[in-house]
Copies of this chain bind each other. A is one copy, B any other.
Amino acid sequence: MLQNRSIEVLRAIVQEYIQTREPVGSKTLVDRHDFGVSSATIRNDMALLEEEQLIVAPHTSSGRVPTDKGYRLFVDRLAELKPLSSPERSAIETFLDSSSDLDEVLARAVKVLAKLTNQIAMIQYPALGSSKVRSVELVSVSENKVLLLLVLDNARIEQHQIDFTSGISGEFIAEVRAKLNTLLEGRSLTTVPELIQDFENNFAPASRSAVSQLLDALVKTVDANRTEKLVVAGTGNLARNEGDFSHSITPLLDAIEEQVVLVRLLNEMQSEHLGVGLRIGRENQTDGLREATIMSAGYQDQNQEVAKLGLIGPTRMDYSLNISAVQAVARYLSKILQA
């Protein structure tokens, strides 16, 4: 059974190691942290921790380094978080206050998160499943080009350009637009495909080909939203933290370019302690992420959790700070989307 002090020692080791990037010895430990005991006692505790595989000595006679399991215990017992400094808070606020469109808000939020944490930050686009169609707009761009705009109730707009094989008249566009709107307005996005099933029967056979081209575009637009998008920032931080990865960081870079992988990872995450989900080192089965930690939290749109945001970095990261930052950005983002 682990003593209370042993846990404190573990905590100190993690803190020290995160700060110095060097294996921590018993002496430096008693020097900088005020345990009331001697280094020999700490050594005993460290022996215990090592038995429990919470820390490990890289070389026979050198300081100790936390294991994944050690980090895990550390974060699970992590009571008080490092509160964000006031400049940090104001950075978030000023970055996110202005009422911009969704793209802008997410782009800024992800940058702030990357900056605050010095890690790679990512934010999923809100899922559209529950959003409803506010209106469908058709804007003629040239003789046979029409722009389809799908306006959703959370102020998102999806656009798609349609190239008709033949010229299209203004009246025809107006007619289709009116009929589409009466059909779709207020309906949930998921029901759109089945709603437009028989739509083209409303039109004379001569114009059906044009209508069906248009419907194709509509379906495509809806589908495009199902494949979830992701914004990423701070890939540069990876290079800064390169020293924290013993092996090559290329697998990580590749995972990031392949956003699919990140989306899957985020979706698999479940929030746990402190409302934040964590996968530490080998807890990621994915090869190439063995030395990385992924952190995530959900955020809300109209008081409903719609997507996740998070970050990815070396296992040796400042958990306390990063958890605070992820929480804060998630909270602010939710607040903005609610308005």
Contact = CB atoms under 8 A, between A and B. Distances in A.
Contacts of A242: 239, 242
A239 B240 contact: no
Interface in A159-176: 159-161, 163
A99 B145 CA distance: 12
A253 interface: yes
A155 B151 contact: no
Interface string A115-157: 0000000000000000000110101111001010101010101
A249 interface: yes
Copies per complex of this chain = 2
Contact of A238 (B145, B159, B239, B257): B239
A161 B235 CA distance: 30
A99 B147 CA distance: 12
Given A101-B161, A250-B240, A253-B239, A153 B141 contact: yes
A256 interface: yes
Contact of A236 (B100, B137, B257): B257
A132 to B, nearest CB: 12
A191 to B, nearest CB: 20
A236 B149 CA distance: 34
Interface string A225-260: 000000000011011101000000110011011000
A286 to B, nearest CB: 17
Contact of A99 (B134, B163, B235): B163
Nearest to A252: B236
B101 A160 contact: yes
A305 to B, nearest CB: 21
Given A236-B257, A239-B242, A253-B239, A157 B163 contact: no
A185 to B, nearest CB: 11
Nearest to A153: B141
Given A236-B253, A239-B253, A257-B236, A141 B145 contact: no
A139 B137 contact: yes
B157 A151 contact: no
Name the residue among A151, A155, A239 with the largest chain B CB count within 10 angstroms: A239
Given A134-B141, A239-B253, 10 more contacts: A99-B163, A100-B161, A137-B139, A139-B151, A147-B155, A235-B236, A236-B238, A236-B253, A240-B250, A240-B253
12 contacts: A135-B139, A147-B151, A149-B149, A157-B159, A235-B235, A235-B236, A236-B250, A236-B253, A236-B256, A236-B257, A239-B239, A240-B250
